[in-house]
Structure 1
Amino acid sequence: MYHVINGHIGIILEQIPRSHVTEYDYLQKHLKNLDDKEYQRRFKVFLRLNAARLSELFCGHYFNILKDVSSKKTNITDVCKRLHEVKTHKHRQSLQFSFASKLIHMTDTSMPIYDSMIADFYFYAEPNRNKSLKDRIHDLATFHEFLTKEYNRIINNGLLRDAIRAFRDELKPQMFTDHKIIDSLIWAFVSFQKKDVAKGKITYC
């Protein structure tokens, strides 16, 4: 699929609003302002904590963990367990692996972000919710480790070199690593694919 992204990069870049770049750049540049309410507001909007309707208690817990992780190394399994300690909604706790990956990424931008779009691109099925929390985290963390290795392979072998260059030329990001650009390209490609591939705007070959 990487050659499809390279071959249709113009259409794919049209799916990425400039605000995606400017807001991410802002959040990375001002990461030390985690206690600032305006920073937190923009963070929650951009990383979609608001869209998930997470409790204020959880969001406060999230920013506390982010501050802690900013000053020391950790891993996504530990972050998942710590996030699970606090109720995400009024009456329940839940596994928030995507938000854990976003938290890790904000402090180490070489780490991939996991969400349903990335999972769909790689044909990954989330673990059954009947599994134990430990097993679900393990399965997701294993896939996240695959993403880490795969993004490094993409970069080292130049598999998305043309698309990454076009992204930088067109959108002028300041704080985007190649890893983050790969994430944005895949997300935009899958989003477009779900809507318009049947219209013939992208041709598989």
Structure 2
Amino acid sequence: MAENQDSAALLNGSAMKPDAFDGTKSKYIAWKTQMKLYVVTQRKRLPEQFDRVLMILSYMKGGHAGEYVATFMKKYDADENSVIQTTKTLWEDLDRHFLIDEQAKAYDRLQAMQMGALSAQEFFSKFELCAFQANIHDFEAHFQELKSLLEKALRADIIRLLNIVGETHSPSGKDNSNLGSSRHKVHHEHRLA
């Protein structure tokens, strides 16, 4: 019985209306999912793409979302053809404005990372994953930045150990205070720790 009601709701376009979106980035994905489902149920009622665009915009109220709609309408008033005409293009533009940048969040986590009670293996695995998520794939190109982050994040006893290992493996016998010049060396020192 419930399945028949759900199917009927989708067919006749009476799916639950989405909440209004105020531009809060943390709420965007949930609202977008809810809105896309609602748009699907409204296809018969709104066969034209631009009508669907306007319907989506009508669920954006207040905050940054309201500002987005106000800007859209100013452009529309100036030249109707200069504004977004399809839902696909609208979603792409809304994503640029309201989707939280996962890469930036990963970089923030990388900067705030502390070793704490993690083992060296756990820490380096977590550090490497975070660097990868922050789009740092070439460790040599980002060496100084990563070295600085590691020095800030590692416990003092691990830094001392890495410096000792660096001294014993240095061809000149000098203090090799950098943490490695490549991803391979960081992993080698990681295994020694």
Q: Report if TM-score (shorter chain) is over 0.5.
A: no
Task: Output the TM-score relative to the length of structure 1.
Answer: 0.25
Task: Output the TM-score relative to the length of structure 2.
Answer: 0.27
Specify which structure has the bigger relative contact order, considering alpha-carbon pairs within 8 angstroms and separated by 6 or more residues.
Answer: 1
